[in-house]
């Protein structure tokens, strides 16, 4: 087997599955041949709770216990790459766009909020460094979008998807089944906080969620092709009940975002 095939086999052995494994293998091969790193990233978000039907609050505390399982698996993944001398970048990426788009009840454009958000990322990075992770990087998605001049692209895609839903929440981009599953997912998220979420709120949350994910994934494509985040792959949980919202529009159909499922939900 080639080095890339050996790496993929070892990753597959430690993970709970890989989506688009052929693309991941191609990314690894490219990294080995050109010394352009594979970019592994994981979404990380601070805790958001709804205090009542109108208000939400954010807690920017890093929970080491919540990170422990990911850290253990990410450490094994990095060891595989290092053993085979495969260059890589390891990024913890905060979807601050998702928060502002999906939860407009939170005031996110104040200096205090931005300072707390940056403090959260700094503390998260320090925690990873304390666990022996060299060269860990933390960003908000907005920072990367600004670097690549993709802020307008994001907004255009978000508006295109969210405005595509009619009054009955039908969209040509999202199947009825997927939309209904996402609505139930949003309800369960708030039910865990002992808050009943009316259908119209859950529907609106689902609509915004699909808009944000389409916009994020489309911009991730551009970050990859601009070599800001080359050979991109997502580290995530495997949750059979969750709708895969990493979809794109206005980019080549053959491009997909590989996902390595390190943990089960």
Give the global pTM. Answer: 0.91
Confidence of residue 255 (pLDDT cuts 50, 70, 90): very high
Taking Cα atoms as reference points, which of 235, 226, 194 lies closest to residue 16? 235
- What pLDDT is stored for residue 82 in this prediction? 96
Say which residues have a Cβ less than 8 Å from residue 182's Cβ, sequence separation at least 6.
206, 209, 210, 243, 245
pLDDT at 194 over 60: no
Sheet holding 136-140, edge to edge: 18-19, 259-264, 232-238, 38-43, 88-94, 136-140
Which range has the worst mean pLDDT, 2-6, 11-15, 49-53, 105-109?
49-53
Angle at alpha carbon of residue 75, lines to 221 and 25, rounded to 5°: 40
C-alpha–C-alpha distance, residues 42 and 265, integer Å: 15
pLDDT at 59 over 60: yes
Strand pairing partners for 47? 59
Per-residue model confidence as pLDDT tens digits over 99-150: 888 887 788 888 998 999 999 999 999 999 999 999 999 999 999 999 999 9
- Tokens 């975002």: give the residue: 257
Taking Cα atoms as reference points, which of 53, 250, 94 lies closest to residue 159? 250
Per-residue model confidence as pLDDT tens digits over 206-217: 999 999 999 999
pLDDT at 58 over 90: no
Torsion angle, CA of 198/99/252/18, rounded to 10 degrees?
A: -90
pLDDT at 184 over 90: no
pLDDT at 76 over 80: yes
């Amino acid at each position: 087997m080639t080095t890339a095939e050996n790496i993929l086999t070892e990753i597959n052995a430690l993970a709970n599955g890989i989506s688009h494994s052929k693309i991941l293998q191609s990314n690894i091969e490219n990294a080995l041949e050109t010394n352009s790193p594979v970019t592994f990233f994981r979404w990380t978000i601070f805790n958001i709770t709804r205090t009542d039907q109108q208000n939400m609050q954010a807690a920017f505390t890093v929970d080491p216990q919540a990170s422990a399982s990911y850290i253990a698996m990410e450490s094994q993944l990095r060891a595989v790459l290092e053993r085979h001398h495969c260059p890589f970048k390891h990024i913890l990426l905060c979807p601050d766009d998702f928060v502002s788009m999906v939860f407009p009840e939170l005031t996110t454009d104040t200096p205090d909020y931005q300072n707390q958000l940056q403090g959260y990322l700094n503390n998260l990075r320090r925690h990873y460094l304390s666990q022996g992770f060299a060269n860990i990087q933390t960003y908000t998605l907005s920072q990367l979008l600004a670097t690549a001049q993709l802020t307008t692209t994001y907004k255009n895609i978000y508006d295109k998807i969210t405005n595509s839903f009619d009054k009955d929440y039908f969209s040509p981009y999202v199947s009825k089944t997927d939309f209904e599953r996402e609505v139930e997912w949003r309800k369960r998220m708030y039910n865990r906080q002992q808050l009943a979420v009316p259908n119209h709120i859950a529907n609106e949350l689902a609509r915004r969620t699909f808009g944000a994910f389409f916009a994020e994934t489309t911009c991730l494509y551009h970050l990859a092709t601009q070599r800001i985040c080359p050979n991109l792959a997502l580290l995530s949980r495997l949750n059979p009940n969750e709708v895969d919202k990493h979809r794109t529009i206005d980019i080549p159909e053959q491009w997909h975002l590989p996902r390595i499922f390190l943990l089960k939900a």
